[in-house]
Amino acid sequence: MNYNDYWNNKHPKQPIIYAGRAIRGCDKRINIDVRQMIWEDDYMLDKVCGHIAGSNDNKAHWAQKYIVKNIKYVSDKKKADINECWQFPNETLVTKTGDCEDGAILLASMMLCMGIPNWRVRVTAGLVSTGTNAESGGHAYVTYCREKDNNWVVLDWCYLQDSALEVRNKPVMRDRKEYKQVWFSFNNQYSWSHETYGVINGVK
C-alpha cells in the first residue's frame, strides 16, 4: 500500500489562509498560507536536531521531548500583548517560549528536518477537552503516522503532553477521546479540512 498517496488524499485538500501573524503596535492582521509556517530545510533547526539518528518513531519522540524540555508555554497576550500571533520555528527556537501552535509548528519542522517524510507529519488545529464537564477549547498539536503500524498518534507538547511515553506505546489518535473535532491540519506541502474557509481570523 502506498501510504504517501493514501494519507495525502484521504481528506479533502483546502487552502487554509490564517490571519495568524501580527506586528506589535499595528491592528492590521497578516494573512499567511499555513503551509509556509513549517520549515523542512533550515540551518538553525539542522544544528539542533540534524544529528539525531534512528527510526522515524525514535526521532519523533526525541523531538517531542526536546520541545517539552526547552520551550516554555507563554500565551500571545502575555508575551506580545496581542491575542494571536503564530511564530515561525526560528522565533520559538530563539525565544524558547510560545503557545500551543508555536511549539507544534517547531516540533513538526524539527521532525521534517530530521528526515521524517512530510506525509507522516501534520500540525492539527481543533477542539480538545478542557475538563470533566464536556467543555472544550481550541488547541493545536502534532499528529504523526508512526512507523510501527502506520497509525496516527498525537504528539502534544503542552496541554496533554505525554513525552515520557515512547511513540510506539502511545494510544492511537482515534482512541483519544480528549481530542475532538478537527478544524484543519497541514504540513509544508498540503492543508486539509472538511470545511471550506476564507481567511480564518482566529482559532475559535
Provide the CATH number for the domain around residue 27: 3.10.620.30
For residues 162 and 30, what is the distance between their CA atoms, to the nearest angstrom?
Answer: 33
* Contact criterion met (CB below 8 Å) for 17 and 200: yes
DSSP one-letter string for 118-160: GGGEEEEEEEEE-SSSS-EEEEEEEEEE-TTTS-EEEE-SSTT
Task: Give the pLDDT confidence score for residue 94 in this predicted structure.
Answer: 95
For residue 119 the three cell numbers come to: 506525509
Distances (CA, A) of 174 to 55, 70, 78, 85, 184: 23, 29, 33, 29, 16
Supply φ then ψ for residue 27, to 5 degrees: -80, -20
Question: Given pLDDT bands bounded at 50, 70 and 90, which one contains residue 1?
Answer: confident
**Nearest CA to 108 among 60, 74, 151?**
60
* Contact criterion met (CB below 8 Å) for 67 and 107: yes
> What secondary structure letter does DSSP report for 54?
S
pLDDT digits (tens, 9 = 90+) for 140-184: 999 999 999 999 999 999 999 999 999 999 999 999 999 999 999
Distances (CA, A) of 83 to 2, 23, 79, 97: 41, 12, 10, 15
For residues 200 and 18, what is the distance between their CA atoms, to the nearest angstrom?
Answer: 5
- DSSP run (H or E) holding 183: strand 179-186
Point out which residues pair with 128 in neighbouring strands.
137, 179
- DSSP run (H or E) holding 182: strand 179-186
pLDDT digits (tens, 9 = 90+) for 97-123: 999 999 999 999 999 999 999 999 999
Give me the number of domains the chain comprises. Answer: 1
Q: pTM of the predicted model, to two decimals? A: 0.93
pLDDT digits (tens, 9 = 90+) for 64-102: 999 999 999 998 777 766 667 899 999 999 999 999 999
Chain-centroid distance of CA 126 in Å reads 11
The range of the structural domain enclosing residue 61 comes to 3-200
